[in-house]
Amino acid sequence: GSMLTLEITSGVVAVVGILLAAWLWLGKRTLVTSIANSAPGRLLSTWWYNAWGFDWLYDKVFVKPFLGIAWLLKRDPLNSMMNIPAVLSRFAGKGLLLSENGYLRWYVASMSIGAVVVLALLMVLR
């Protein structure tokens, strides 16, 4: 019942809209020209040519915030945090490279200092 009525009504409205558009577009266009030249017609045509302001709204709501977030993240801070272990290991490797001098007493002294530090930690943490 009511579903069929709704379907018929929507079909009739669509066909009437198409016929009205064809009559306005293909006819003499005097009515369209007079409406377009009136004050409300000029206002409406300005809005129509500017897509009812949706381009401006889309730019302010979606484009500008997206560009702002992209500008903030251009240095990729998450990737920089993932690079911290690699940078630390590179720094430690350079430090170890400086300690390689070929003298046995340096190696013995560094091993002794390391053993003292480990024993001190064991005594403090116990």
Domain that holds residue 25: 1-37
Query: Do the domain assignments include residue 91?
Result: no
Domains: count for the chain: 1
Query: Do the domain assignments include residue 118?
Result: no
> Number of C-alpha atoms within 13 angstroms, CB side, residue 45?
11
- Tell me what pLDDT residue 44 has: 86
Q: Running DSSP on this structure, what letter comes out for residue 38?
A: S
Cβ-proximal residues to 56 (8 Å cutoff; 6+ apart), any chain: 50
Query: Do the domain assignments include residue 95?
Result: no
- Tell me what pLDDT residue 63 has: 97
In the chain, the percentage of residues whose pLDDT exceeds 70 is 100
> CA angle, 32 as apex, 29 and 33 as ends, to 5°?
85
Query: Do the domain assignments include residue 49?
Result: no
Between helices 30-37 and 2-26, what is the axis angle to 10°? 90
CA distance 21 to 27: 10
> For 32-66, how does the pLDDT look when each residue is reduced to its tens digit (9 = 90+)?
888 889 999 888 888 888 888 899 999 999 999 99
CA distance 46 to 94: 68
Query: Do the domain assignments include residue 30?
Result: yes
Query: Do the domain assignments include residue 24?
Result: yes
Please answer whether residues 50 and 56 qualify as being in contact, where contact means their C-beta atoms are separated by less than 8 angstroms.
Answer: yes
pTM of the model: 0.42
Query: Do the domain assignments include residue 67?
Result: no
Query: Do the domain assignments include residue 10?
Result: yes
> For 57-92, how does the pLDDT look when each residue is reduced to its tens digit (9 = 90+)?
999 999 999 999 999 988 888 888 888 999 999 999
